[in-house]
Structures are given as C-alpha cells and as structure tokens.
Amino acid sequence: MSAQLWAISIFCLATCHCNGGQNGSGTGATPLLTLPANNNSGVGTVAPAQTYSGQGNGSGWLGKRVYTLEERVVKIRQQHEAEEAREKARKEEEERTKRKQEEDERLEREKKERVEFQKSIKQELADSLSKVYLAIDGKKKGEPDELEKLRSTVEGLQQRIAGGSTSTDKSHEAAVGELARIRREQADLKVDSDKRLSALEEVVMALQRQCEEAEATAERWKAEALRPGNKRGSIAVGATPISQARVRTRLGGAESPKGHIETPRRHVEVDLKGIVERYQMEVEALQTLRINEMNARKELELEVEKLKESLARLEMEKRISMRGTNLKARMDEAAANKDKTYGGIRSDVGTSARKTGEKESNVATNSDDWDTFVRANRKDLRGRNKDFVMKICEKEGVEYTTLDPTKEAIVQARAAKVFDDEGRKGKKAVTVMVSDDGEGQAATEERDDFAAS
C-alpha cells in the first residue's frame, strides 16, 4: 500500500509541473485518489477528469492538495523507513537472540557431554573397583566355601565307607593299614639314611681335621730337621710323626719297669691307625651302598627288559596268528570263487601261493574258448598300474605305447600264444603267475592238442 501511495504522489507532482502552473479548467484531467470500488480489490482507481475554475498558479485547491499529498508522502516515507528500521532491528535482534540461543545450546550440549563423559569414567572406575572388591570378597568368602565343600566330601566318603559291605570295610582297612605301614617304613628309612649320612659327614670332617693336623705336624718336624745349626734343638709339637708301616719294636737286654707306659710315638701310631681304619670303614660302607644301589638298578632294568620282551613276543604271536588265519581264509575264498567262475583253473591254485609267496592270477584258459580267455586276461589287467604293465611288456616282448592299448596288446599277444590264428584252435594251456612284487610270469604246460578232435 505504501508503494502505491509513493507512485501516486510522484505521478501527481509530475502532472503539476507539466501543466506549468496553468489553470486546470482546460482539457487536462487531474487524477484523484479514490476509494476502491470493490472490497476485494486493493488497487486504487483514478476519478474522472473534472475542471475547477478560479484556481491560480501556486494557490488554490490544487496547490494545497499537492502540498498535502507531499506531506502525506513524506510521512508515509518516514513511517516506511521507520518500519524498515524496526524490521531490521527486529531481524538483528532475532539473529542475535538466535546466535545467543545456539551458543547457549552448544555450551549446554558440551556441558552435558562433559558430564556424561565424567559419569562414564566414574562408572568404569566403579565397575573396575567393584570387580576388584568382588574378587577380594569372593576370595575371602570362597575359603569357607571350599572348607565346607571339603568337609561335605569327607563326610560323604565316610558315609559311603560306613555303608559299605563287611568285605569292603575289611579290604579298605587292610589297604589303609598297609599304606600306613609303608609310610612308617618309608619314614624310618628316611630317618636312618639321614642319621647315616650325618654320621658319615662327621667322620669325614674328623678325618679331614686329623689329616690336616698330621700334615702340619710333619711340616713343623721337617722344618726343624732341615734348619742349619740346630740339629739337636727341640720344637714344641704334639707328637712325633711316624710312617704307617708296622715296625717291630727293638727290645733291650733287661725289661724296663716302665715298659708298659705308652710313649708319644706309640700314641701317634695308634691315632693314625685308628684314622686309617675309620677311613677304610667309611670307604667300605660307601662302596657297599653304591654296590647295593647298582644291583637294585640292574635287577629293575633286567625285569623291565624281560617284561618288554614278553610283551613283544606276545604281540608278535598274536599278530602272526591273526595274519595266518586271515590270509588262509582269504586265499581259500579267492580260490573257491575262481573255481566257480572258471572251470579250467588248476587244482593247486591257492595253497601253492601261500608256500611260494606268489599268487596266481587265476586266469583259467580253456583252450577252446577264446572269449573266456580274453575276458579273463582283460579282467586281470584292469586294475594294474603303469609300472606293472611295463614289466609285463619287458617279459613278454610287447611294445608299450599307452596304458589301455598296451593292456589290450598284452591280452592279444597272450591269446595268440595260446590259440591259433586260424579258427582260434587251442595249442596249449597257459597259467599266468603274478607275484607279490609286481612281476608277471607265464608258465606253460604242454598238453595234448585236443582241438584236432
């Protein structure tokens, strides 16, 4: 509406200046602002042209009207600018409020996230500490539980033992008594061995001390004897060292009344003799212990070896017996099946294979039946591998090309040896022997040529 009023005011001013201040009584028309004809229409209409007389230049109704319109336009313009300023201020205030609100929301969100993060950390620490506390408390509480479980287990075992039969009780008591006796014996043996070892250690230490004292005394005597200028001097020593060899005492003509008194020399000899005897006893005791241990170990090793040999022998006998039974049964069954399938198989097939280590291929060659012979040989060579076929080629003089054609060539070569080319008449019967090592042999037995009949 304000834009329309602004346009109308400009139009009125332009019209006034164009008339040059002349009277409006001529043909010129002055547009006037009127109310809208329709309530629904928001656009002003122009009134029909009217002429006014008696109006001078710059005065009269038109000038007042223009002045009024200019004032109104200025007021409308000021009002419009004020409204724009208020709208701008309102928008700036809204934007400032919005920014402040967003900043507050951001701060609130960050504060909330920080609080949640601290809360999660506290929760994790609390969970970890609770686990530690539970572990400690559970360990403390678990000990009485374990004791209760053990007590209940012991009570249950005692009830089972008490509720058992008399024979079971007796055997259990006997076993318990035997176990207690063995434990007592073991404890006694341990105590005895400890005492023996401690005694031997004491003896060894005493012997070492005595040996050291004897060596020191001998060194002192030796130094005194070798010192020049003091051949007859004396040295304060405990006893004179002597050799360990027994020396016969030289007796004088008359027996001294003090002959029964022991001299220092005799005392040293007795001491050394005792040392030697004790050392010898120690050595013998140690040797006896060592020998006993070695003997016991050897006896145990011999028993173990005997048991191993017995087990190996039993296992071998069992294996041999099982193998022999299975092999005989299988070979007899194979021979029976071949006898049923081919009527011309030799009667000694099966038993001779067990003795000689070879098995016959059970190829029964009926000299008047070419097809049966060919089928039997094809069946025999059906599952053979390349190495086996190459060995047969070397034996029978057949050239190897590929596996299946070579097998067919071997079959035809064998058939050619057995039958005549013309009329397929039999010449002689051939039994093909196949050994365990994969070699094939063709054994021919000369018979009468019955094909001529």
Neighbouring CB atoms inside 10 A of 413's CB total 17
- pLDDT of 20 > 60? The answer is no
| 101 part of a folded domain | yes
Q: What is the pLDDT of residues 164-175, one digit of tens each?
A: 555 566 677 778
Count H helices and E strands in the chain, helices first: 8, 3
Beta carbons of 43 and 36 less than 8 angstroms apart: yes
In this prediction, residue 161 carries a pLDDT of 73
Task: Give the predicted TM-score (pTM) of the model.
Answer: 0.20
| pLDDT score of 328 | 65
Find the mean pLDDT for residues 321-326: 53
Residues 171 and 83 in one domain: no
On whether both 136 and 93 belong to a single domain, the answer is yes
- 74 pLDDT above the threshold of 80: yes
Q: Are 16 and 62 in contact (CB under 8 A)?
A: yes
Average pLDDT over residues 61-76: 89
Q: How confident is the model at residue 59 (pLDDT cuts 50, 70, 90)?
A: low
pLDDT at 233 over 50: no
In a shared domain, residues 199 and 81: no
Q: What is the mean pLDDT of residues 407-427?
A: 72
Task: Please answer whether residues 435 and 453 qualify as being in contact, where contact means their C-beta atoms are separated by less than 8 angstroms.
Answer: no
Domain membership of residue 364 as a residue range: 357-452
Most confident listed range (102-106, 171-175, 225-229, 234-238): 102-106
Domain count, the chain: 3
Q: pLDDT digit string (tens) for 204-223?
A: 888 888 888 888 888 888 88
Residue 46, strand partner residues: 33
One domain for residues 6 and 143: yes
Q: What pLDDT is recorded for position 106?
A: 92
68 belongs to a structural domain: yes
Q: What is the helix, strand, coil percentage profile of the chain, to 5?
A: 70, 5, 30
Indicate if 16 and 128 belong to the same structural domain: yes
Predicted pLDDT of residue 420: 61
- Distance separating the N- and C-terminal Cα atoms of the chain: 143
Most confident of 146-150, 336-340, 389-393: 389-393
Nearest to 288 by CA among 196, 207, 211: 196
Identify the residue with better confidence: 321 or 103.
103
* 217 domain residue, yes or no: yes
pLDDT for res 326: 55
> What's the pLDDT at 76?
92
Statement to judge: residues 81 and 214 lie in one domain: no
Average of per-residue pLDDT values in the chain: 69
- The better pLDDT of the pair 400, 344 is held by 400
> Which stretch, 99-113, 156-170, 260-274, 328-342, has highest mean pLDDT?
99-113
Percentage of the chain beyond pLDDT 90 is 9
Q: Which two tokens stand for residue 331?
A: 């070979």
Q: Which of 102, 128, 160 is the last residue of a domain?
A: 160
Q: 123 with 153, same domain? A: yes
What's the confidence (pLDDT) of residue 84? Answer: 92
Model pLDDT for residues 264-308, shown as the tens digit of each residue? 555 566 777 778 888 888 888 888 888 988 898 888 888 888 888
pLDDT tens for each residue of 116-154: 999 889 888 888 888 888 877 766 665 667 778 888 888
Contact 30, 8 (CB under 8 A): no
Q: Taking 60 as the threshold, does the pLDDT of residue 253 lie above it?
A: no
Q: Are residues 109 and 156 in the same domain?
A: yes
- Residues 144 and 177 placed together within one structural domain of the fold: no
Let me know whether 3 and 139 are in one domain.
yes
Shared-domain flag, residues 142 and 224 = no
* Domain assignment present for 327: no
pLDDT of residue 83: 92
- From 192, 224, 241, the end of a domain falls on 241
Which ranges of 227-263 would DSSP assign to H, the alpha helix?
none
Of 185, 218, 241, the residue at which a domain comes to its end is 241
Residue 49 structure tokens: 């042209």
| DSSP characters over 109-171 | HHHHHHHHHHHHHHHHHHHHHHHHHHHHHHHHHHHHHHHHHHHHHHHHHHHHHHHS-HHHHHH
